[in-house]
Structure 1
Amino acid sequence: MDAVSAADALTSPCKNASHSHKTHLSRLPLTTTVHANPHSFSLSLQYDTMQASLLKVFSLLALAAISSTLASPLPAPSLAVRAMLPGCTTANGIEICNNTRRSYHEGPSRDRVPAGLTNGERLARHLPLKPPTRRSSARRAVASPAAPPANRGYIQVLSVDDNGNPTGVLGYVSRTTYAQRQYLVQPSIDDALLVAPSGDRNLGTLNSDIPSLALLGLVQSREDTSSGLAKGISNYLYLASTEQTPPNATPQNVGNSFSSVPGGPLPSESAVWTHDPVTHTLKAQWINPDGSPAPTIAFTHGPAIYLGDPEAFYQAHEVPVRKIAFVFMAM
């Protein structure tokens, strides 16, 4: 293929544009006119020269166009194209993505900050710290010595698990004692014992069937030869009526509902109660003869109420026991 043919192949768009003119020139009978007439020969030569010149011009134009196309880079994308995210469109200079709209001047959209981040997690995400929390100047509620929110109320008995969490309601401390000695659990509030705070850590009994002894307290068991309690020791206490003893005092030989039993009198304590103002739980704390606070866990065997170490009690007596909690219910 000669240079003219190569240029013609590269400039196919130009070739198509001048096709009819080239066809007219190529049909001229150059060879026949050379022998027929000198004037015709001169005319044919002029046509041949014109044809070659036109082909060269078209070839040069085509090569220039190709060089320009190869040398020029693609136009830079507009700001809208560069900022566009997949699945987004633009309208009036605003990017629309997933039904949310923002101006391009606002910069990239931010992810929603998860709630509940600590200050350390916020710093790791380059976020500002949380604003300081205003703390109340009020004092934190703590258990107070036998000071229920009302003057009078009943003592509800709840069953609890090993962690002290309530599992059900068993009933109430009964106003009617066993043989006028020991308090029991009974289901109805109609026969519940009514109590009221009476001095430091004391609970007075208002409708007990033992009117001569007006305080609810703890009394040493008849089975035990000492009043000391400890974990793993089967000694236990009765929930009973007693005369008053000082707060934090060791067991005292004062009058109580077991004073007349064989082997008595038995030592007792009255100032043993604390009240939680939030949960309204009543807890009893026995003080050992050496002045140490003893593990004083309330539990039942049948309807009878005891305090001490329920596991040690079970090992010693081989009877079913249930851990309980006392809750003050104001009238």
Structure 2
Amino acid sequence: FATLAAFASLLCAPVLLAGAAPAPAPSRTLADRAGPAHPINPVDAALKPLAMAPATPMTNAQRLKRGLAPNRPKFPRSSPRKLAPRASSTPQPGCTPRYGALNVVGAGVPPAAFVARVPNEFGEYGVTADFADALVVLYLACPGSAAALPVDLVTQNGLADYTYFGGITGFANTSPDLEPGSANYAYLGGILSSTGASAPPQDAPNSFTYATGDAEDVESTIWSVSPVDGAVSARWVNTDGAPAPATQAVYFPAQNFLLLTADPAAVEAEYGPSDVVALTFV
């Protein structure tokens, strides 16, 4: 696994900054698919720009040289408001931080593609063929039985305020649940804090809600990273507390974003061309 220092010399995309302005409380809607097919993203939202973290995170030495405080450790942590039963607010002893990018492989993506550090205008992460623009994430590799638990992927150079890479329920969903036979989906975007392992969808601040004003639920602690080959898989938890069957990652090229679903064929039939992809931590 690469270290953060290895990525610092390569990741040099421009930094995009945007200020936040007061806004009305987000509204929540669920789709009724009795009528014509719905767009997969809002078409009439007054979108707000999202602040970005530096393309190349400064080391502690660089920060101290500029008179800045050292970086705060960005270990995965649980939300202080909603802790899942097995969630822990501190890293377990013996866990090792791993830094890397997320390689994306699929029929509809360019060769040597990665999850991009800059999301689309809706706050959803997409794909880039330029490694210099790749999103860098951190996770904790833990020994023993803890290795089987889902982890958080914490972004290092992506969205400034929403640093947990996770699922955000789709605005056109009929429910937050991902199931076979359903076109429900979850955008891959940024979440403010960890939702905790085995937690169902939670109402928490996220990049999509900030950008669009549409309130959606989220899950962050859904990832597994293979210690053998780096394969990254997701396990969405439905509202009844049971894992969604066969959660798969899908790339939606028309708007350059990634999503999770339990039925890629249903998503494609409802919303248009898309491709199942595999993610690998490299």
Confirm or deny a common fold (TM above 0.5). Answer: yes
Shift of 1:177: 0.6
Matched, 1:272 2:214: no
The answer for the alignment partner of 1:296 in structure 2 is 247
Contact between 2:208 and 2:214, CA under 8 Å: does it hold in 1?
yes
Matched, 1:187 2:129: yes
Question: Aligned partner of 2:279: which letter?
Answer: F
Whole-angstrom distance in 2 between the partners of 1:261 and 1:180:
6
Residue from 300, 322, 331 that aligns with 2:275: 322
Contact between 1:159 and 1:170, CA under 8 Å: does it hold in 2?
no
For residues 221-275 of structure 1, the C-alpha deviation after alignment (integer angstroms, 9 at most, x for no partner) is: 0111310111110001100001210100000001111223556320000100101
Whole-angstrom distance in 1 between the partners of 2:96 and 2:118:
25
For residues 95-145 of structure 1, the C-alpha deviation after alignment (integer angstroms, 9 at most, x for no partner) is: xxxxxxxxxxxxxxxxxxxxxxxxxxxxxxxxxxxxxxxxxxxxxxxxxxx
Contact between 2:151 and 2:197, CA under 8 Å: does it hold in 1?
yes
Bigger relative CO (Cα 8 Å, ≥ 6 apart) = 2
Whole-angstrom distance in 2 between the partners of 1:283 and 1:223:
24
Matches within 5 A, 1:171-186: 171-179=113-121, 181-186=123-128
**Percent of aligned pairs with the same residue?**
29
Residue from 75, 82, 106 that aligns with 1:159: 106
Question: What secondary structure sits across from 1:226 in the alignment?
Answer: coil
For residues 291-328 of structure 1, the C-alpha deviation after alignment (integer angstroms, 9 at most, x for no partner) is: 111131111121321110210111212x2221101100
Question: Aligned partner of 1:154: which letter?
Answer: A
Residue from 284, 287, 297 that aligns with 2:234: 284
The answer for the alignment partner of 1:224 in structure 2 is 173
Whole-angstrom distance in 1 between the partners of 2:174 and 2:198:
22
| Equivalent pairs, count | 176
Whichever of the two has the greater Rg, that structure is 1
Whole-angstrom distance in 1 between the partners of 2:127 and 2:110:
14
Whole-angstrom distance in 2 between the partners of 1:170 and 1:222:
30
The TM-score with structure 1 as length reference comes to: 0.49
The answer for the alignment partner of 1:233 in structure 2 is 182
Question: Aligned partner of 1:301: which letter?
Answer: F
Question: What secondary structure sits across from 2:123 in the alignment?
Answer: coil
Contact between 1:148 and 1:275, CA under 8 Å: does it hold in 2?
no
Shift of 1:198: 5.3
Contact between 1:148 and 1:197, CA under 8 Å: does it hold in 2?
no
**Residues 261 and 175 of structure 1: is their aligned pair in 2 closer, same or farther, counting only changes over 3 Å?**
closer
Question: What secondary structure sits across from 2:189 in the alignment?
Answer: strand
**Residues 262 and 304 of structure 1: is their aligned pair in 2 closer, same or farther, counting only changes over 3 Å?**
closer
The answer for the alignment partner of 1:133 in structure 2 is none
Question: Aligned partner of 1:283: which letter?
Answer: S
Matched, 1:196 2:164: no
Whole-angstrom distance in 2 between the partners of 1:150 and 1:262:
33
RMSD of equivalent CA atoms: 2.5
Long gaps (5+) in structure 1: 1-146, 162-166
**Residues 232 and 180 of structure 1: is their aligned pair in 2 closer, same or farther, counting only changes over 3 Å?**
closer
Whole-angstrom distance in 2 between the partners of 1:262 and 1:224:
16
